Amino acid sequence: MSVTRLLQRQILPLDRDSDVLPLYVDNQAAILDADKYEVGSDKTAQALNNAQIRQSINDGTQIHPDQIESRTSLRVLKSERLSLGTYFNAFPASYWRRHTVVDDVKLTVSLQGRGASVIVYKSMANGRSQRVDAADTGTNPEGTFTFDLPLKPFVDGGWYWYDVVASDEDAVITSAEWTAEVPDDRAEHGTVDICVTTMNKPDFCAKLLAQMGEDEQLRPYLDTVFVMEQGTKKVADDVEFPAAEKALGDLLHIIEQGNLGGSGGYARGQLESLRKGTATYALMMDDDVVCEPEGIIRAITFGDLAKRPTIVGGHMFSLYAKSRLHSYGEIVQPWRFWWQSAPGVFGDWDFGARNLRSTRWLHKRVDVDFNGWFMCLIPRKVIEEIGLSLPVFIKWDDSEYGLRAKEAGFPTVSFPGAAVWHVPWTDKNDALDWQSYFHQRNRFVAALLHSIYDDGGRMVTESFSHQIKHLVSMQYSTVLLRHQALLDVLAGPEKLHETLATQLPAVREMVKGFPDAELEADRDAFPPVRRHKPPRKGKDDTAVPTNREVKLAALKAPIRQLMKPRKLSTEFPEAELAAMDNQWYRITKYDSAIVSMNDQQGAAFYRRDKKLFNQMLKDTIKVHRQLKRRWPKLAEEYRAKLGEVTSPEAWEKTFEPWKVAEEKGTDGNRS
C-alpha cells in the first residue's frame, strides 16, 4: 500500500521583498558558460563569482513584486517567460534520490491564460540541462498539467524545474506541487520542537517567534516552541512579543537559565524535547535569523521520508544581502581538522547576479559532515542514541555533533530549499577576542574525539604556528587565551560541565590589562601616530605583498623580538591599521599600532613587550610538546567520557541551579 505525500510546493516571498525575489523566481537567461571558469580551477571559479563577468547573466531587469498574486500564485506578463528553476522552487532531485525512499515524483502545475505553456527541465550533475516535457492551455482559459518524473537519473546531482511562457495575454501559475507515492507507514508527517537559544536579542527573537506562529501551513507541524532565555534583556519584555505570544499560544514555552552559551541553550532544548517525547524532531535555530517557514516543512518532510534517521540542515543566506548564499555545505577537513566549505562549494554566491540554472557547481550533490545550528533538524531517535550537545559553551558544538552522528550511522544533509537569513560570519573576527579561547579549546576537544590521524594530523603544528603569528603581531591577550585553552584540554573532560557557566567571565577577567584587549570606540582616545622615520619612498602598508616580501617578513619577525621596543612606541602608536590590513606580515614592522576590530565597533593600541614575548614563547613551546606527547592517551580519555558528558543525566545536573519549583510568567508558559 502507498499514499500520496506533498514533497514541495511553489512558493513566493512572504513580504514581496524584491531583494529575495531571485531566490523564488527568475527571468534571466541560463547561460552555462561555466566550462571556461569552473572546470579544473577553483581560483577562476571564484573569480566568476566575484568579478563583473557574472553580471552578463543579469541584465538588470527584475520581476515586479506586483506579479506575486499570493503565497503560491504568480503572474507571467504577456509574451514573457519566467523560470521556477530557482533555489526555493526547483526540486533538488539528487538529494531525494540519495537519501529517501522516494523513487519517482509527480509535478502538477495549474495555469490560467490562453496559450500559456509549461516546460519541464532537468539538469545533470555537471550543470547541463535537458528539456523533459511540455504542455499548454491552447485555446482554454486554464489547465492543470501533470508530469511523471523518475529520480533514477540523479545519482551524482541534478534538479528538476519548470518554466512558464505566456502568449499574447497574461498567464497565472495558480499552483505547482511536487508529490510522490510513499509507503503507507510514511503517510503521517512528523512534528517538531523548535529550540531557540536567545541572548540579549529580544527584538530579533520576538519577530522570529511571530513569523513561525503566524504561518498557517507550518502550524500543524509544530509541537512546542522552546525559547531558552539566557540574557538580561528578555524577549518577553520586547514590544513585538505580544504578537508572538498570541500567534503561538500554548505552544510557546520560555525557559530562563543562566548564560550557558549556545551549547547550553541547545542542550536544554534537546533535553526538554527528549523528556517530553511527543515530537519527532528537535530543530535548533538561532535567535537572530529570518526564516522561510516553508523550509521547516520541507526539512520535516525530507526527514520523514529518509531511509534512515537523518539530520536535515538548512542553508544560510546573508541577512544584509539577501540573495547571497553564505553557507551551502560544510565539512571538517580531516588533516587540519578545520571546518570549511565542502569540495566544489563557493561561498557568498549571489543568485541576484548568477542564477541557479547557469551555475555548474550547484547541480552536483554536496555531501557534508555537519550543519550549523542556525537551522538544523535532529530526529529524536538520534538524540536518544548519541546524546545531547557537548558542553563547550560556544563553537564546535554543532560540528562535533555532526561528526558524532556520522560515526553512529546517522548522516547529515544540508538540504536545498530549507534556509534562513543570518548575519554572515565573514563580518566577524572571533579569532582575536574572548571567543578565541573557545575556538581553540573546543577544536582540540573535537579533534581528540574524532580525528582519524595520529596526534590529530596537523592540529598541534598549526596551533603552534598560529601562536607565533599572534605573538609577533602583539596580540598577547589572544596568545594567553589560546594557551589557557590548551591547558584546559590537557586537564581532561571532567570539568566541561563544571565550568560551563563560569568560563566566560573567567576568560574576560584573564585578559584585563592587556593593551590589545582594551578597546576604545573613539579613535581620539588614543595618542596620535608618531613614526620613528617616514615610510620608505612614501609607501604605505596596504599593498598586497609578494611571496618574497612575506618570506622576508617571516625571517625578520623573530629577530625583531630580540630588540628593545623603540622609546616613543610605548607612548605613541607608530601606525594605524584598518582591520582588513591587520596581517602579521604588516604589523610585525612596528613596535606599536592602533588596530581596528573587524566588527568596526572599536580599536586597540597594540604595543610590543619583549619580556612578555619571551615568557609566552617558552610557555607555548612547552604546552605544545605536552599535547604531542599526551595525545594518544588523552584521546582515549575523551572518547571514553563522551557518552557521560553528553548524557541527559549530566546535563540535568548542570541545569539544576536554574530550575524553579513552580511555573511563573505569562499564562503559565514560562518555566
Q: What is the pLDDT of residue 33?
A: 55
Q: What pLDDT, in 10s, does the model give residues 605-655?
A: 999 999 999 999 999 999 999 999 999 999 999 999 999 999 999 999 999
Same domain (yes/no): 389, 484? no
Q: What pLDDT, in 10s, does the model give residues 400-440?
A: 999 999 999 999 999 999 999 998 876 666 778 899 999 99
Q: What is the pLDDT confidence band of residue 565, given thresholds at 50, 70 and 90? A: very high
What is the phi/psi pair of residue 147, to 5°? -130, 125
Separation of alpha carbons 92 and 232, rounded Å: 42
List the single range of 47-61, 451-465, 498-512 with lowest mean pLDDT. 47-61
Q: Is pLDDT of 82 > 70? A: yes
Q: Which residues are catalytic?
A: 398
Of 145, 164, 185, which residue sits at a domain end?
185
Of 185, 202, 234, which residue sits at a domain end?
185
Element (H, E) at 512: none
Helix (H, G, I), strand (E, B) or coil at 419: strand
Same domain (yes/no): 311, 400? yes
b/e 199-228 (16+ beta carbons within 10 angstroms → b): bebbebbbbbbbbbbbbeebeebbbbbbbb
Separation of alpha carbons 138 and 135, rounded Å: 9
Same domain (yes/no): 496, 588? yes
Taking CA atoms, 344 is separated from 43, 188, 331, 352, 417, in Å, by 11, 36, 12, 20, 19
β-bridge partners, 596: 603
Q: Is pLDDT of 664 > 50? A: no
Q: Is pLDDT of 48 > 70? A: no
- Evaluate the CA torsion angle 100, 106, 107, 112 in order and state its sign: negative
Asked if 28 contacts 355 with a C-beta cutoff of 8 angstroms, the reply is: yes
Q: What is the pLDDT confidence band of residue 124, given thresholds at 50, 70 and 90? A: very high
Q: What is the mean pLDDT of residues 654-668?
A: 61
Separation of alpha carbons 269 and 373, rounded Å: 12
Residue 537 lies in a domain: no
Of 393, 422, 451, which residue sits at a domain end?
422
Residue 335 lies in a domain: no
Q: What pLDDT, in 10s, does the model give residues 227-249?
A: 999 999 999 999 999 999 999 99
Q: What is the pLDDT of residue 52?
A: 38
Q: What is the pLDDT of residue 449?
A: 98
What cell numbers appear for 51 in the block? Answer: 568579478
Residue found by looking up cell 536544554 in the block: 268
Q: Is pLDDT of 478 > 70? A: yes
Exposure of 170 by Cβ count < 10 A (0-12 exposed, 13-18 middle, 19+ buried)?
A: middle
Q: Is pLDDT of 35 > 60? A: no
Q: Is pLDDT of 183 > 80? A: yes
Same domain (yes/no): 31, 78? yes
Q: What is the mean pLDDT of residues 270-283?
A: 98
- β-pair type (142-150, 104-112): antiparallel
Mean pLDDT highest for which of 7-21, 48-62, 521-535?
Answer: 7-21
Q: Is pLDDT of 369 > 70? A: yes
Asked if 194 contacts 273 with a C-beta cutoff of 8 angstroms, the reply is: no
Q: Is pLDDT of 307 > 90? A: yes
Query: CATH number for the domain including 159?
Result: 3.90.550.60
Task: Determine what percent of the chain is predicted with pLDDT higher than 70.
Answer: 92
Residue 520 lies in a domain: yes
Same domain (yes/no): 180, 204? no
Q: What is the pLDDT of residue 540?
A: 65
b/e 560-578 (16+ beta carbons within 10 angstroms → b): bbeeebbeebeebbbbbbe
Q: What is the pLDDT of residue 53?
A: 39
Same domain (yes/no): 437, 552? yes
Residue 511 lies in a domain: yes
Q: What is the pLDDT confidence band of residue 282, given thresholds at 50, 70 and 90? A: very high
Torsion angle of alpha carbons 15, 54, 368, 651, nearest 10°? -40
Same domain (yes/no): 99, 213? no
Separation of alpha carbons 660 and 654, rounded Å: 14
Q: What is the pLDDT confidence band of residue 666, given thresholds at 50, 70 and 90? A: very low
Separation of alpha carbons 6 and 512, rounded Å: 57
Q: Is pLDDT of 13 > 90? A: yes
List the single range of 31-45, 394-408, 526-540, 635-649 with lowest mean pLDDT. 31-45
Residue 540 lies in a domain: no
- Find, among 501, 475, 477, 455, the residue nearest to 624 by Cα: 455
List the single range of 92-96, 203-207, 527-531 with lowest mean pLDDT. 527-531
Same domain (yes/no): 179, 323? no
- Find, among 141, 143, 135, 105, the residue nearest to 118 by Cα: 135
Q: Share the mean pLDDT of the chain.
A: 91
* HEC string for 210-235: HHHHCCCCCHHHEEEEEEEECCCCCH
Same domain (yes/no): 204, 287? yes
Taking CA atoms, 195 is separated from 65, 215, 229, 284, 404, in Å, by 33, 17, 11, 5, 20
Label residue 166 left, alpha or beta by phi (over 0 means left) and psi (-120 to 50 means alpha): beta
Residue 52 lies in a domain: no
Q: Which amino acid is at 449?
A: L
Q: Is pLDDT of 495 > 60? A: yes
Q: What is the pLDDT of residue 538?
A: 62
- Evaluate the CA torsion angle 36, 39, 45, 49 in order and state its sign: positive
Q: What is the pLDDT of residue 34?
A: 47
The domain containing residue 180 runs over which residues?
2-43+67-185
DSSP string computed for 235-254 = GGGSTTHHHHHHHHGGGEEE
Q: What is the pLDDT confidence band of residue 581, given thresholds at 50, 70 and 90? A: confident
Same domain (yes/no): 409, 448? no
Residue 160 lies in a domain: yes
Torsion angle of alpha carbons 558, 563, 568, 572, nearest 10°? 20
Asked if 303 contacts 95 with a C-beta cutoff of 8 angstroms, the reply is: no
Work out the number of other CB atoms within 10 angstroms of the CB of residue 78: 13
Q: What is the pLDDT of residue 667?
A: 41
Into how many domains does the chain fold?
Answer: 3
Taking CA atoms, 212 is separated from 240, 293, 481, 607, in Å, by 13, 6, 39, 50
List the single range of 355-359, 372-376, 516-520, 530-534 with lowest mean pLDDT. 530-534
Q: What is the pLDDT of residue 58?
A: 63
Separation of alpha carbons 472 and 613, rounded Å: 8
What is the value of pTM for the model shown? 0.93
Q: What is the pLDDT of residue 670?
A: 53
Residue 621 lies in a domain: yes
Same domain (yes/no): 171, 310? no
Q: What is the pLDDT of residue 426?
A: 67
Same domain (yes/no): 555, 601? yes
Separation of alpha carbons 362 and 325, rounded Å: 11
